[in-house]
Amino acid sequence: MTWTAPPRRTGTPEVLVIDRRVDADRALLLPRGRLVHGCTAVLADALAALPSGLARLDLDMGAVEFMDPAGLRFLDLLGGYSHRESVPATTANWRGQPVRILEGSGLDTTDPLRTTTRARGPGPAPGPGPGSAPRTASAASTARAAPGHAPGTERADRLRTLEQEVGQLRHALASRPVIDQARGVLMALHACTSDEAWHILREASQLSNTKLRTVAAAVVAGAGSGSPPPPPEVRAALRTALGRLGRRARGRGGW
């Protein structure tokens, strides 16, 4: 048994790595990272490196930490390979945020390949290939659109909703570090607890009609020696929030 990983493409960000193990006529792929833009190219490389004549292909998704709608194209590519090569393929061990994307897409969270359907041209749909599992009742109901609602429109609406949720999640993840830093600054300067620091930031955001992340960034920037203080409306809001908690603004970062 030998573990290998396909070489990284020159000039591409390493958002996903796929380790692989081939044992006789079975292959195991272990994706690590994020199923985002570019993930299909990484999968295509991994599939191209597999030997012919496989009897089974399994993917362990336990190390996939994030997924956006590009992950659905990842599944379509994998399903296409399974159908074209007549190799049964499964995905397992989904966890965390990617499960939410699968649920929102109407896919089986245990193995979404069982409910992934690919667009086909005109004519009757072919029966399941040698490596394909039969469509489940849940997949059939997902494929049927509501009355007066075209299947393509329903899928597009679902994808738009998922993209909005993913965007909100990315923004929240990007905002957390500076907010946590601001809480630390407030705790150090004003001898408050972590919860009290959070309430100070949130109240200052509301009072000044300023985004929470902007308030937090101003607090962090203002704590450095020689750094400019926060804008006047943010300073006033911070003073008010501190006063309501019985804290007096003092020293550097006290505004």
Assess if residue 48 is contained within a domain: yes
**Residues 139, 192 within the same domain:** no
128 has a pLDDT exceeding 50: no
Same structural domain for residues 195 and 133? no
For residue 223, the enclosing domain spans: 174-244
Question: Is 138 in the same domain as 197?
Answer: no
pLDDT tens sequence across 91-107: 999 998 888 888 888 88
Which segment of 39-43, 64-68, 150-154, 211-215 scores lowest on mean pLDDT? 150-154
Q: Are residues 87 and 210 in the same domain?
A: no
CATH code for the domain of 178: 1.10.10
- Domain assignment present for 166: no
Q: Which of 24-28, 39-43, 114-118, 197-201 has the lowest mean pLDDT?
A: 114-118
Across the range 239-255, mean pLDDT stands at: 67
Same domain, 188 and 96: no
Going by C-alpha positions, the residue among 36, 233, 240, 58 that lies closest to residue 131 is 58
Statement to judge: residues 136 and 188 lie in one domain: no
Give residue 9's pLDDT.
Answer: 45
What is the pLDDT, as a whole number, of residue 208? 92
Domain count, the chain: 2
**178 and 107, same domain (yes or no):** no
pTM, two decimal places: 0.49
Residues 60 and 21 in one domain: yes
Query: Containing H/E element for 34?
Result: strand 26-35
Rounded Cα distance, 196 and 203, in Å: 10
For residue 112, what is the DSSP state? G
Residues 25 and 104 in one domain: yes
pLDDT above 50 for 196: yes
Residue-level pLDDT at 176: 67
* CB neighbourhood size of 47 (10 A): 22
Instruction: Reply yes or no on whether the pLDDT at 55 is more than 90.
Output: yes
Determine the residue type at 202: R
Looking at residue 77, what is its pLDDT?
Answer: 93
pLDDT digits 0-9 by tens, 143-194: 334 444 455 566 666 666 766 666 665 665 555 688 888 888 888 788 888 8
Asked if residue 236 lies in contact with residue 199, where contact means CB atoms within 8 angstroms, the answer is no
Q: How many helices (H) and strands (E) does the chain have?
A: 8, 6
Q: Is residue 250 part of a domain?
A: no
Q: Is residue 158 part of a domain?
A: no
Asked if 85 and 208 sit in the same domain, the reply is no
Contact 70, 41 (CB under 8 A): no
Task: Examine residue 84 and state whether it is found in any structural domain, yes or no.
Answer: yes
Say yes or no: 136 and 204 in one domain: no
Residue with the two structure tokens 């399941």: 128
C-alpha 149/C-alpha 157 separation (Å) is: 11
Considering all CA atoms of the chain, what is the largest pairwise distance in Å, rounded to the nearest integer? Answer: 76
Look at residue 54 in the predicted model and tell me its pLDDT: 94
* Structure tokens belonging to residue 102: 């699968």
The whole-number average pLDDT for the span 125-130 is 40
**Is 113 part of a structural domain of the chain?**
yes
Contact status, residue 29 vs residue 18, Cβ threshold 8 Å: yes
CA end-to-end span of the chain: 63
The conformation of residue 190, written as its DSSP 8-state character, comes to H
Check: CB of residue 247 under 8 Å from CB of residue 240.
no
Taking 70 as the threshold, does the pLDDT of residue 5 lie above it? no
Q: Could you read off the pLDDT of 31-47 as tens digits, one per residue?
A: 999 898 889 999 999 99
Q: Which of these, 48, 46, 57, 128, lies nearest to 87 by C-alpha position?
A: 57
Look at residue 199 and tell me if it is in a domain: yes
Spatial distance between the Cα atoms of 50 and 40, rounded to a whole number of angstroms: 16
Give the mean pLDDT of 209-227: 81
pLDDT number for residue 248: 56
Q: Give, for 90, the enclosing helix (H) or strand (E).
A: strand 89-92
CATH number reported for the structural domain that contains residue 37 in this entry: 3.30.750.24
Within a 10 A sphere around the Cβ of 7, how many other Cβ atoms? 8
Distances (CA, A) of 32 to 19, 173, 230: 8, 19, 41
- State whether 134 and 30 are in the same domain: yes
Classify residue 123: in a domain, yes or no: no
